[in-house]
């Protein structure tokens, strides 16, 4: 038998600015009110649950807070020229240049800030937070940019 718990929306939200690139071209800087959807699969514990909803929500909400009201900088994007200016990040994309205070930026180890890559970031952070729970076999995260429009990532943990 497979078991899964899901938590989503309500407090699992964050508002953030970003820009993505496609085929070497950067889209204009813009923002979203993101919603997070999290599924965790695994075996039941001796208390007959995969994970307590409250614990999973607490972890996911803390991750959302790290990104809330920040510019999501895909630090490893080859189409962006990213410079560390000590107290700010400078991002150059074609004919545009942005200088944003570091306090307003969440520099992510990603090559793009698409919904799919953000979902991957969440999967890995959740896996770190749940590392001691041997019963969890996978984590799936959806990052919804707008109603009905989400990017997904699933991280298989059964081989850890």
For the domain that residue 16 is a member of, what is the CATH number?
3.30.479.10
DSSP helix, strand, coil percent of the chain (3-state; round to 5):
20, 50, 30
Looking at residue 59, its pLDDT comes to 98
Q: Structure pTM?
A: 0.95
Looking at residue 160, its pLDDT comes to 60
Which segments in the chain show pLDDT lower than 70?
159-160
Work out how many domains the chain is built from and give that number. Answer: 1
On whether residue 13 sits in a domain, the answer given is yes
On whether residue 82 sits in a domain, the answer given is no
On whether residue 46 sits in a domain, the answer given is yes
On whether residue 119 sits in a domain, the answer given is yes
- Contact between 93 and 19 (Cβ < 8 Å): yes
Looking at residue 94, its pLDDT comes to 87
Looking at residue 9, its pLDDT comes to 85
Beta strand spans in the chain (E)? 3-18, 21-22, 25-26, 30-42, 70-74, 81-84, 88-93, 96-101, 105-108, 136-146, 149-156
- Domain carrying residue 145: 3-77+109-156
Q: How far apart are CA 28 and CA 24, in angstroms?
A: 13
On whether residue 142 sits in a domain, the answer given is yes
């Amino acid at each position: 038998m497979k078991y899964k718990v899901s938590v989503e929306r309500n407090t699992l939200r964050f508002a953030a600015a970003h820009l993505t690139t496609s085929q070497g071209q950067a889209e204009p800087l813009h923002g979203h009110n993101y919603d997070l959807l999290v599924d965790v699969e695994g075996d039941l514990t001796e208390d007959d649950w995969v994970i307590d909803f409250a614990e999973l929500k607490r972890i996911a909400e803390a991750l959302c807070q790290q990104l809330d009201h920040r510019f999501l900088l895909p630090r490893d994007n080859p189409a962006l020229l990213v410079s560390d200016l000590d107290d700010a990040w400078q991002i150059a994309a074609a004919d545009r240049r942005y200088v944003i205070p570091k306090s307003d930026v969440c520099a992510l180890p990603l090559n793009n800030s698409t919904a799919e890559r953000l979902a991957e970031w969440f999967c890995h952070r959740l896996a770190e937070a749940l590392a001691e729970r041997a019963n969890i076999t996978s984590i799936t995260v959806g990052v919804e940019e707008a109603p009905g429009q989400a990017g997904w990532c699933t991280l298989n943990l059964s081989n850890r």
